[in-house]
Amino acid sequence: MMTSTLKISALTKRFGDVAALSDVSLAIQPGERVALLGHNGAGKSTMMKIILGLIPATSGRVEVCGAMPGSATARAQVAYLPENAAFHPALTGLEQLRHYLSLRSEDPGQAQQLLDQVGLGAAARRRIGTYSKGMRQRVGLAQALIGAPRLLVLDEPTSGLDPVSRRDFYALLDQFAARGTAILLSSHALTEVEARTDRIVILSGGHLVAEGSLPALRRLADLPVALHVTARNGYAPALMDALPGAILVGGALHMACPQSEKLALLGRIAGLGDKVADLEVLPPSLEDIYSHFSRRDGQ
Partner 1 sequence: MITPRRILATAATEFRIARRNRWVIIAMALMALFALVLTAAGSAPTGGLGVDRLSVTVASLTSLAVYLVPLLALLMSFDAIAGEVERGTLPLVLTYPVSRAEILLGKLLAHLAVLGLAVGAGYGVAALAALLTDAGSLAGMPALWRLLWSSLALGATFLGAGYALSSLARRPSGAAGLAIGLWLGLVVLYDLGLLAAVVADNGGWFTTSAFPVALLANPADAFRLFNLSASAATAAASGVGGAAAVIPLWQSLVSVLVWPLVALALAHAAFRRVIP
Least Å distance between CB 100 and partner 1? 7
Binding to partner 1 by residue 7, rule CB under 8 A?
no
Q: Binding ligand ADP by CB under 6 A: which of 5, 22, 45, 187?
A: 45
Q: How many residues bind partner 1 (CB under 8 A)?
A: 28
Q: Binding partner 1 by CB under 8 A: which of 27, 67, 76, 257?
A: 76
Q: How many residues bind ligand ADP (CB under 6 A)?
A: 11
Side-chain-side CA neighbours of 34 within 13 Å: the count stands at 27
46 binds, among partner 1, ligand ADP, Mg ion, none (CB under 5 to 8 A by kind): ligand ADP
CA distance 99 to 136: 16
Least Å distance between CB 197 and partner 1? 22
Binding to partner 1 by residue 14, rule CB under 8 A?
no
Least Å distance between CB 192 and ligand ADP? 14
Binding to partner 1 by residue 53, rule CB under 8 A?
yes
Return all residues near 93 (Cβ < 8 A) that are at least 6 apart. 115, 120, 123, 124, 125, 126, 128, 131, 135, 139, 142
Least Å distance between CB 155 and Mg ion? 6
Q: Binding partner 1 by CB under 8 A: which of 22, 137, 143, 186?
A: 143
Binding site for ligand ADP (CB under 6 A): 15, 18, 20, 38, 40-46
